[in-house]
Amino acid sequence: MKISVLGCGRWGSFIGWYLVRHGHDVCQWGRQGKSYEQLKSGKNEYVELDPRINLTSDLKAALNFGDIIIISISAQALRSFIKEIISTADVKDKIFVLCMKGIEVDTGKRLSEVLVDCGISGKNVAVWVGPGHIQAFTQGQPNCMVIDSENPALVKYLADAFRSELIRFYYGDDLIGSEIGAAAKNVMGIAAGMLDGGNMSTLKGPLMARGAREVSRLIKAMGGNELSAYGLCHLGDYETTLFSEYSNNRAFGEKFVKKQPFIKLAEGAATSKAMKMLGEKYGVDLPITNAVYSILYENKDPLSEFKKVFSRSTRKEF
Protein backbone atom coordinates (compact mmCIF):
# COMPACT_ATOMS: atom_id res chain seq x y z
CA MET A 1 0.00 0.00 0.00
CA LYS A 2 0.96 3.63 -0.49
CA ILE A 3 0.01 5.37 2.74
CA SER A 4 0.16 9.00 3.83
CA VAL A 5 0.56 9.53 7.58
CA LEU A 6 -0.46 13.02 8.66
CA GLY A 7 1.10 13.99 11.97
CA CYS A 8 4.61 13.34 13.22
CA GLY A 9 4.18 13.52 16.98
CA ARG A 10 4.17 10.50 19.25
CA TRP A 11 1.60 8.27 17.51
CA GLY A 12 2.11 9.66 14.02
CA SER A 13 5.83 8.96 14.03
CA PHE A 14 5.23 5.45 15.37
CA ILE A 15 2.63 4.66 12.70
CA GLY A 16 5.07 5.62 9.96
CA TRP A 17 7.79 3.54 11.65
CA TYR A 18 5.44 0.56 11.99
CA LEU A 19 3.92 0.57 8.51
CA VAL A 20 7.15 0.97 6.55
CA ARG A 21 8.65 -1.95 8.49
CA HIS A 22 5.75 -4.12 7.41
CA GLY A 23 6.07 -3.57 3.69
CA HIS A 24 4.12 -0.40 2.97
CA ASP A 25 5.28 2.76 1.18
CA VAL A 26 4.93 5.68 3.57
CA CYS A 27 4.86 9.44 3.17
CA GLN A 28 4.97 11.15 6.55
CA TRP A 29 3.71 14.72 6.83
CA GLY A 30 4.24 17.18 9.62
CA ARG A 31 3.65 20.87 9.97
CA GLN A 32 6.81 22.92 10.31
CA GLY A 33 7.60 23.05 14.03
CA LYS A 34 9.26 21.20 16.88
CA SER A 35 7.87 17.72 16.21
CA TYR A 36 8.66 17.91 12.50
CA GLU A 37 12.18 19.23 13.06
CA GLN A 38 12.93 16.52 15.62
CA LEU A 39 11.91 13.78 13.20
CA LYS A 40 13.71 15.48 10.33
CA SER A 41 16.91 15.36 12.39
CA GLY A 42 16.68 11.55 12.27
CA LYS A 43 14.77 10.66 15.43
CA ASN A 44 12.53 11.87 18.20
CA GLU A 45 12.14 10.52 21.73
CA TYR A 46 10.12 7.55 20.44
CA VAL A 47 11.48 6.31 17.10
CA GLU A 48 14.26 6.70 14.59
CA LEU A 49 13.21 7.94 11.17
CA ASP A 50 13.37 5.03 8.74
CA PRO A 51 15.21 6.17 5.58
CA ARG A 52 12.48 4.55 3.46
CA ILE A 53 9.93 7.10 4.75
CA ASN A 54 9.34 10.16 2.58
CA LEU A 55 9.17 12.93 5.21
CA THR A 56 7.61 16.19 4.05
CA SER A 57 5.96 19.37 5.28
CA ASP A 58 4.17 19.78 1.93
CA LEU A 59 0.55 18.82 2.67
CA LYS A 60 -0.52 18.63 -0.97
CA ALA A 61 2.34 16.27 -1.80
CA ALA A 62 1.43 14.06 1.14
CA LEU A 63 -2.26 13.96 0.19
CA ASN A 64 -1.45 13.00 -3.39
CA PHE A 65 1.03 10.28 -2.38
CA GLY A 66 -1.34 7.36 -1.79
CA ASP A 67 -4.92 6.17 -1.53
CA ILE A 68 -4.91 5.77 2.26
CA ILE A 69 -4.56 8.75 4.60
CA ILE A 70 -3.92 8.12 8.29
CA ILE A 71 -4.44 11.08 10.62
CA SER A 72 -2.86 11.33 14.06
CA ILE A 73 -3.24 14.81 15.55
CA SER A 74 -5.01 16.40 18.52
CA ALA A 75 -8.69 15.46 18.42
CA GLN A 76 -9.87 19.03 18.93
CA ALA A 77 -7.94 20.21 15.87
CA LEU A 78 -9.48 17.65 13.51
CA ARG A 79 -12.34 19.70 12.05
CA SER A 80 -10.15 22.63 10.98
CA PHE A 81 -7.53 20.22 9.64
CA ILE A 82 -10.04 18.32 7.50
CA LYS A 83 -11.25 21.58 6.02
CA GLU A 84 -7.63 22.43 5.20
CA ILE A 85 -7.16 19.01 3.59
CA ILE A 86 -10.27 19.36 1.42
CA SER A 87 -9.18 22.79 0.24
CA THR A 88 -5.69 21.50 -0.59
CA ALA A 89 -6.34 18.40 -2.71
CA ASP A 90 -9.06 16.21 -4.22
CA VAL A 91 -9.58 13.53 -1.58
CA LYS A 92 -13.11 12.33 -2.34
CA ASP A 93 -11.89 8.83 -3.24
CA LYS A 94 -9.29 8.54 -0.48
CA ILE A 95 -9.61 6.25 2.54
CA PHE A 96 -9.24 8.03 5.88
CA VAL A 97 -8.06 6.23 9.01
CA LEU A 98 -8.23 8.10 12.31
CA CYS A 99 -5.58 6.95 14.76
CA MET A 100 -6.64 9.32 17.53
CA LYS A 101 -9.07 9.22 20.44
CA GLY A 102 -11.43 11.97 21.48
CA ILE A 103 -14.83 13.62 21.16
CA GLU A 104 -15.29 17.10 19.72
CA VAL A 105 -15.96 19.39 22.67
CA ASP A 106 -18.03 22.01 20.84
CA THR A 107 -20.48 19.51 19.33
CA GLY A 108 -20.13 16.23 21.25
CA LYS A 109 -19.55 14.48 17.93
CA ARG A 110 -17.40 11.44 17.39
CA LEU A 111 -14.35 12.02 15.22
CA SER A 112 -15.70 9.98 12.30
CA GLU A 113 -18.80 12.18 12.42
CA VAL A 114 -16.59 15.26 12.13
CA LEU A 115 -15.18 13.93 8.85
CA VAL A 116 -18.66 13.19 7.52
CA ASP A 117 -19.78 16.68 8.55
CA CYS A 118 -16.97 18.07 6.43
CA GLY A 119 -17.96 16.10 3.33
CA ILE A 120 -15.99 12.85 3.60
CA SER A 121 -18.07 9.73 2.85
CA GLY A 122 -18.58 7.58 5.92
CA LYS A 123 -17.89 4.52 3.75
CA ASN A 124 -14.32 5.80 3.36
CA VAL A 125 -13.67 6.44 7.07
CA ALA A 126 -12.21 4.02 9.62
CA VAL A 127 -10.78 4.29 13.12
CA TRP A 128 -7.72 2.55 14.57
CA VAL A 129 -8.06 2.18 18.36
CA GLY A 130 -7.01 -0.06 21.22
CA PRO A 131 -4.18 -0.56 23.71
CA GLY A 132 -0.48 -0.06 23.18
CA HIS A 133 2.35 2.30 23.94
CA ILE A 134 5.04 3.25 21.46
CA GLN A 135 7.76 2.61 24.02
CA ALA A 136 6.58 -1.01 24.38
CA PHE A 137 5.98 -1.59 20.66
CA THR A 138 9.47 -0.39 19.72
CA GLN A 139 10.89 -2.87 22.23
CA GLY A 140 9.07 -5.66 20.40
CA GLN A 141 6.30 -6.12 22.99
CA PRO A 142 3.10 -7.15 21.11
CA ASN A 143 -0.47 -6.01 21.65
CA CYS A 144 -3.92 -6.18 20.06
CA MET A 145 -5.87 -3.33 18.45
CA VAL A 146 -9.11 -2.75 16.53
CA ILE A 147 -10.08 -1.33 13.16
CA ASP A 148 -13.69 -0.17 12.94
CA SER A 149 -15.88 1.57 10.37
CA GLU A 150 -19.47 1.69 9.17
CA ASN A 151 -18.09 -0.15 6.11
CA PRO A 152 -17.40 -3.84 7.00
CA ALA A 153 -15.41 -4.42 3.82
CA LEU A 154 -13.08 -1.54 4.69
CA VAL A 155 -12.60 -2.94 8.21
CA LYS A 156 -11.44 -6.29 6.85
CA TYR A 157 -9.28 -4.72 4.15
CA LEU A 158 -7.38 -2.49 6.57
CA ALA A 159 -7.10 -4.96 9.46
CA ASP A 160 -5.72 -7.65 7.16
CA ALA A 161 -3.27 -5.23 5.55
CA PHE A 162 -1.97 -3.72 8.81
CA ARG A 163 -1.68 -6.85 10.97
CA SER A 164 1.68 -8.26 11.99
CA GLU A 165 3.27 -10.26 14.80
CA LEU A 166 3.64 -6.99 16.70
CA ILE A 167 0.01 -5.88 16.40
CA ARG A 168 -2.91 -8.27 15.96
CA PHE A 169 -5.91 -6.40 14.62
CA TYR A 170 -9.50 -7.35 15.34
CA TYR A 171 -12.45 -6.54 13.08
CA GLY A 172 -14.68 -3.96 14.79
CA ASP A 173 -18.43 -3.97 14.23
CA ASP A 174 -19.61 -1.11 16.44
CA LEU A 175 -18.23 2.25 15.35
CA ILE A 176 -20.13 4.17 18.04
CA GLY A 177 -18.86 1.89 20.80
CA SER A 178 -15.30 1.84 19.48
CA GLU A 179 -15.05 5.62 19.30
CA ILE A 180 -16.81 6.44 22.57
CA GLY A 181 -15.00 3.66 24.43
CA ALA A 182 -11.60 4.70 23.11
CA ALA A 183 -12.15 8.35 23.98
CA ALA A 184 -13.61 7.63 27.42
CA LYS A 185 -10.71 5.45 28.54
CA ASN A 186 -8.56 8.60 28.63
CA VAL A 187 -10.95 10.16 31.16
CA MET A 188 -10.59 7.03 33.30
CA GLY A 189 -6.83 7.35 32.90
CA ILE A 190 -6.93 10.83 34.39
CA ALA A 191 -9.09 9.54 37.23
CA ALA A 192 -6.59 6.74 37.88
CA GLY A 193 -3.73 9.23 37.99
CA MET A 194 -5.62 11.40 40.46
CA LEU A 195 -6.12 8.37 42.68
CA ASP A 196 -2.41 7.58 42.42
CA GLY A 197 -1.50 11.14 43.27
CA GLY A 198 -3.81 11.16 46.27
CA ASN A 199 -2.54 7.83 47.65
CA MET A 200 -5.85 6.14 46.88
CA SER A 201 -4.60 3.65 44.27
CA THR A 202 -6.57 0.87 45.99
CA LEU A 203 -9.68 2.41 44.42
CA LYS A 204 -8.40 1.72 40.89
CA GLY A 205 -10.12 -1.69 41.00
CA PRO A 206 -13.55 -0.14 41.62
CA LEU A 207 -12.64 2.55 39.09
CA MET A 208 -12.12 -0.10 36.42
CA ALA A 209 -15.39 -1.90 37.19
CA ARG A 210 -17.56 1.18 37.58
CA GLY A 211 -15.84 3.15 34.82
CA ALA A 212 -16.51 0.48 32.22
CA ARG A 213 -20.10 0.23 33.40
CA GLU A 214 -20.86 3.93 33.09
CA VAL A 215 -19.26 4.05 29.64
CA SER A 216 -21.29 1.01 28.56
CA ARG A 217 -24.49 2.81 29.53
CA LEU A 218 -23.51 5.84 27.46
CA ILE A 219 -22.63 3.70 24.43
CA LYS A 220 -26.01 1.94 24.64
CA ALA A 221 -27.91 5.23 24.97
CA MET A 222 -26.13 6.55 21.86
CA GLY A 223 -27.18 3.51 19.82
CA GLY A 224 -24.05 1.38 20.11
CA ASN A 225 -23.41 -2.05 21.63
CA GLU A 226 -22.83 -1.70 25.39
CA LEU A 227 -20.53 -4.74 25.32
CA SER A 228 -18.00 -2.69 23.35
CA ALA A 229 -17.04 -1.01 26.63
CA TYR A 230 -15.65 -4.36 27.76
CA GLY A 231 -13.57 -4.87 24.63
CA LEU A 232 -10.21 -3.61 23.42
CA CYS A 233 -11.40 -0.07 22.75
CA HIS A 234 -12.08 0.58 26.44
CA LEU A 235 -11.62 -1.98 29.24
CA GLY A 236 -8.97 -3.77 27.20
CA ASP A 237 -7.04 -0.50 27.10
CA TYR A 238 -7.09 0.04 30.88
CA GLU A 239 -3.71 -1.58 31.55
CA THR A 240 -1.94 0.84 29.24
CA THR A 241 -3.96 3.87 30.38
CA LEU A 242 -4.65 3.40 34.11
CA PHE A 243 -1.40 1.74 35.16
CA SER A 244 1.41 2.28 32.67
CA GLU A 245 4.24 4.72 33.33
CA TYR A 246 3.90 5.71 29.67
CA SER A 247 0.26 6.88 29.95
CA ASN A 248 0.00 10.62 29.40
CA ASN A 249 -3.51 10.76 30.86
CA ARG A 250 -2.59 8.88 34.02
CA ALA A 251 0.53 11.04 34.46
CA PHE A 252 -1.50 14.20 33.90
CA GLY A 253 -3.99 13.19 36.61
CA GLU A 254 -1.26 12.37 39.10
CA LYS A 255 0.61 15.61 38.50
CA PHE A 256 -2.61 17.63 38.63
CA VAL A 257 -3.32 16.37 42.15
CA LYS A 258 0.28 17.03 43.17
CA LYS A 259 0.09 20.52 41.58
CA GLN A 260 3.01 19.71 39.28
CA PRO A 261 3.28 20.88 35.64
CA PHE A 262 2.57 18.52 32.74
CA ILE A 263 3.36 19.65 29.20
CA LYS A 264 2.30 16.68 27.06
CA LEU A 265 -1.13 16.17 25.49
CA ALA A 266 -3.74 14.50 27.71
CA GLU A 267 -6.82 14.10 25.50
CA GLY A 268 -8.95 12.99 28.44
CA ALA A 269 -9.16 16.52 29.82
CA ALA A 270 -11.18 17.82 26.86
CA THR A 271 -13.01 14.49 26.53
CA SER A 272 -14.39 14.77 30.08
CA LYS A 273 -16.10 18.00 29.04
CA ALA A 274 -17.56 16.41 25.90
CA MET A 275 -18.71 13.29 27.77
CA LYS A 276 -20.41 15.36 30.46
CA MET A 277 -22.39 17.04 27.70
CA LEU A 278 -23.29 13.67 26.14
CA GLY A 279 -24.35 12.26 29.51
CA GLU A 280 -26.74 15.17 29.96
CA LYS A 281 -28.00 14.90 26.38
CA TYR A 282 -28.76 11.17 26.64
CA GLY A 283 -29.80 11.13 30.30
CA VAL A 284 -26.97 8.84 31.44
CA ASP A 285 -25.40 9.08 34.89
CA LEU A 286 -21.59 9.38 34.54
CA PRO A 287 -20.32 9.84 38.12
CA ILE A 288 -16.62 9.24 37.45
CA THR A 289 -16.60 11.38 34.33
CA ASN A 290 -18.44 14.16 36.15
CA ALA A 291 -15.97 13.99 39.03
CA VAL A 292 -13.05 14.45 36.64
CA TYR A 293 -14.86 17.34 34.97
CA SER A 294 -15.63 19.02 38.29
CA ILE A 295 -12.01 18.75 39.39
CA LEU A 296 -10.57 20.08 36.14
CA TYR A 297 -13.11 22.78 35.29
CA GLU A 298 -14.86 23.70 38.54
CA ASN A 299 -11.83 23.62 40.86
CA LYS A 300 -13.33 20.94 43.10
CA ASP A 301 -11.01 19.10 45.48
CA PRO A 302 -9.88 15.83 43.81
CA LEU A 303 -9.86 13.61 46.88
CA SER A 304 -13.20 14.88 48.13
CA GLU A 305 -14.81 14.30 44.73
CA PHE A 306 -13.59 10.72 44.45
CA LYS A 307 -14.53 9.93 48.02
CA LYS A 308 -18.07 11.06 47.16
CA VAL A 309 -18.12 8.88 44.05
CA PHE A 310 -17.05 5.74 45.88
CA SER A 311 -19.11 6.31 49.02
CA ARG A 312 -22.48 6.89 47.37
CA SER A 313 -25.52 5.13 48.81
CA THR A 314 -25.56 1.33 48.64
CA ARG A 315 -26.94 -0.03 45.38
CA LYS A 316 -26.83 -3.11 43.19
CA GLU A 317 -23.54 -3.52 41.35
CA PHE A 318 -25.19 -3.89 37.91
Positions marked catalytic? 185
Give me the half-sphere count of Cα atoms (radius 13 Å) on the Cβ side of residue 78.
Answer: 31
Q: Where are the beta strands (DSSP E) in 72-216?
A: 95-98, 125-129, 143-149, 167-171
Task: List, in order, residues 6 or more apart from 260 with CB less than 8 Å away.
Answer: none
User: Residue 227 carries which side chain, given as an amino acid letter?
Assistant: L
Question: 148: helix, coil or strand?
Answer: strand
Category of 199 on φ-ψ map: left (φ > 0), alpha (ψ -120 to 50) or beta: left
Cα–Cα distances (Å) from 231 to 146, 180, 194, 223, 284, in that order, read: 9, 12, 24, 17, 20
Nearest CA to 192 out of 205, 177, 182, 179 is that of 205
Q: 109 — phi, psi (to 5°)?
A: -85, 145
Distance of CA 272 to the CA centre of its chain: 13
CA angle, 78 then 83 then 84, to 5°: 95
* Residue 219: count of CB within 10 angstroms of its CB: 27
Q: Report yes or no: 14 and 47 within 8 Å, Cβ to Cβ.
A: yes
CA distance 295 to 305: 7
Q: Report yes or no: 1 and 95 within 8 Å, Cβ to Cβ.
A: no
CA distance 134 to 117: 31
